[in-house]
């Protein structure tokens, strides 16, 4: 995947501020059947805006990237049911920030919930805090 210009990455995340999250997914592109590990984090809003957060580096994509080859499959796993606190009370996104230590993206919601996506090439993690 080719990362977007870093200057525009912040702009892409800021477009989501004030919108309602609709879906949270783990997505990957790989040959063969999907696995159950967390990969890139895909956030979709109720207005249909989609942003993909890379799991290895602080890259943001405004359109889901295409697989590297025709043999690679886009597999995804819905995380929405695993994180009801993200969607309870019809929250809005109040901010998205890149954190450097540890490398992470932090998504703040109007309900006070913070979603932290810790970046790692082999074991990215998703945390929910109030």
Q: What is the pLDDT tens value at each position of the chain, 130 positions in all? A: 445 555 577 788 888 999 999 998 888 776 555 555 557 888 999 988 888 888 877 888 876 666 666 566 777 888 888 878 788 888 999 999 988 888 899 999 999 999 999 988 778 888 988 8
Contact partners, residue 13, CB within 8 Å, separation at least 6: 51, 60, 96, 105
In a domain, 1, yes or no: no
In a domain, 65, yes or no: yes
Distance CA 72, CA 67 (A): 6
Q: Is 101 left (phi over 0), alpha (psi -120 to 50) or beta?
A: beta
Helix (H) or strand (E) run with residue 84 in it = helix 84-87
Find out whether 75 and 85 touch, Cβ atoms under 8 Å: no
In a domain, 24, yes or no: yes
Domain with 51 in it: 6-129
Distance CA 76, CA 29 (A): 9
Q: At CA 21, angle to CA 100 and CA 33, rounded to 5?
A: 80
Q: At CA 23, angle to CA 30 and CA 64, rounded to 5?
A: 40
- For residue 123, the tally of other CB atoms under 10 A from its CB is 9
In a domain, 56, yes or no: yes
Q: Which pair of tokens denotes residue 7?
A: 């200057």
In a domain, 46, yes or no: yes
How many domains, the chain? Answer: 1
Give me the phi and psi of 83, to 5 degrees please: -130, 60
């Amino acid at each position: 995947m080719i990362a977007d210009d870093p200057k525009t990455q912040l702009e892409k995340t800021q477009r989501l501020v004030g919108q309602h999250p609709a879906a949270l997914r783990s997505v990957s592109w790989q040959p063969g059947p999907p696995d159950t590990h967390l990969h890139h984090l895909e956030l979709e809003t109720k207005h249909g805006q989609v942003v993909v957060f890379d799991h290895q580096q602080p890259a943001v994509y405004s359109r889901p990237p295409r697989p590297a080859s025709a043999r690679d499959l886009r597999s995804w796993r819905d995380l929405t049911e695993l994180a009801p606190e993200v969607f309870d009370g019809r929250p809005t996104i109040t901010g998205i920030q890149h954190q450097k230590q540890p490398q992470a993206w932090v998504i703040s919601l109007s309900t006070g919930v913070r979603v932290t996506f810790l970046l790692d090439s082999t074991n990215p993690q998703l945390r929910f805090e109030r």
